[in-house]
């Protein structure tokens, strides 16, 4: 063994070519992940002899282990696309209270939770909008009322069989989408909720979700909020201030369905539910 003092950074990244000859110390700060798929584990000592041929090596950050996604893991995949949004605020916020299971997230710091939510909505809105959402992994949903595409499709097929015109099916879907987008907007504005106890209250309103699927919801303004009172009201400590955060009805209405234009794919098909029928003016509800 050489007299090494400093840790070898390449080795920790798994790409040191010198092996034993290396001038720097080959230490592993942490137990490497053993083979999840049962091919034979690599004991720690092996790592010191030969660097991992795939270049993955060990993780040098203790907290990135259980930490999940969001920036840390991203760099370890050789993906051909690059991610421009770093969501840099989020990982550092999470690490302090990040246990491997992370089941005990309490929204003690509403500001940081709000930041997490804002980042998520800014950078990672999925293409499929009719989804539930939780701002913390392993926590119960903040926004409930999940609809899968198969359910939407089954409902559309049923409607068509009953003789509903294509246009009215599209209308119904668009209403559903709008009320969901409104829910997300409201959540973004009033995400604060107290300790986990109040989260339990909003697990209940699933019946609301199924009725939304099968019958057209009334359009915007106050109506969608009355459809989903539990999820919205349990956030805002002020209760009555629901309407203040809500963007004025007409702007959402005329916006048809397009929310954030970049999240939807091209609006080539004009009667596509999720793209604007008219000229995509599309900025109002963001």
Q: 39 or 43: whose CB is closer to another protein?
A: 39
∠107-236-182 over CA atoms, to 5°? 105
Q: To which residue do tokens 């063994």 refer?
A: 1
Q: Are 159 and 169 in contact (CB under 8 A)?
A: yes
Residue 14 or 224 with smaller CB distance to another protein: 14
Complex with another protein: residue 120 or 246, whichever CB lies closer: 120
**Alpha carbon separation from 153 to 60, 66, 217, 240, 273 (Å, rounded):** 46, 37, 17, 37, 13
Instruction: List b or e across 181-192, with b for residues whose CB sees 16 or more CB atoms inside 10 angstroms.
Output: bbbbbbbebbbe
Name the minimum Å distance from CB 6 to another protein. 27
Q: How far is CA 208 from CA 7, 73, 176, 215, 242, in A?
A: 57, 37, 12, 11, 19
Is the Cβ of residue 85 or residue 237 nearer to another protein in the bound state? 85
CB nearer to another protein: give 181 or 209: 209
189 three-state secondary structure: helix
- Smallest separation (angstroms) from another protein to the CB of 14: 9
Q: Whole-number minimum distance, CB 257 to another protein, in Å? A: 9
Q: CB of 228: closest distance to another protein in angstroms?
A: 14
Min separation Cβ 160 and another protein, Å: 9
The set of residues, in sequence order, having a beta carbon less than 8 Å from that of 206 and lying 6+ positions away, is: 144, 145
């Amino acid at each position: 063994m050489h007299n090494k003092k400093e840790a070898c950074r390449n080795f920790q990244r798994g790409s040191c070519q010198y092996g034993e000859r290396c001038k720097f110390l080959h230490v592993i700060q942490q137990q490497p992940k053993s083979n999840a798929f049962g091919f034979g584990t690599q004991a720690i000592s092996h790592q010191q002899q030969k660097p991992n041929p795939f270049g993955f090596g060990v993780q040098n950050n203790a907290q990135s282990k259980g930490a999940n996604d969001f920036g840390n893991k991203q760099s370890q995949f050789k993906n051909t696309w690059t991610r421009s949004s770093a969501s840099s605020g989020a990982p550092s916020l999470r690490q302090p209270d990040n246990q491997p299971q992370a089941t005990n997230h309490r929204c003690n710091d509403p500001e940081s939770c709000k930041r997490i939510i804002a980042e998520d909505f800014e950078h990672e809105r999925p293409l499929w909008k009719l989804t539930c959402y939780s701002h913390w992994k392993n926590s119960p949903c903040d926004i409930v009322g999940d609809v899968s595409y198969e359910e939407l499709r089954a409902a559309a097929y049923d409607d068509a069989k009953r003789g509903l015109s294509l246009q009215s099916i599209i209308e119904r879907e668009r209403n559903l989408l709008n009320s969901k987008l409104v829910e997300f907007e409201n959540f973004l504005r009033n995400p604060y909720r107290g300790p986990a106890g109040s989260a339990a209250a909003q697990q209940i309103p699933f019946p609301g979700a199924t009725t939304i699927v099968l019958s057209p919801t009334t359009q915007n303004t106050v109506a969608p909020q009355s459809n989903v009172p539990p999820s919205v009201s349990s956030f805002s400590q002020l209760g009555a201030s629901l309407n203040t955060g809500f963007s004025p009805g007409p702007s959402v209405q005329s916006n048809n369905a397009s929310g954030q234009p970049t999240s939807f794919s091209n609006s080539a098909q004009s009667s596509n539910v999720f793209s604007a029928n008219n000229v995509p003016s599309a900025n109002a509800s963001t």
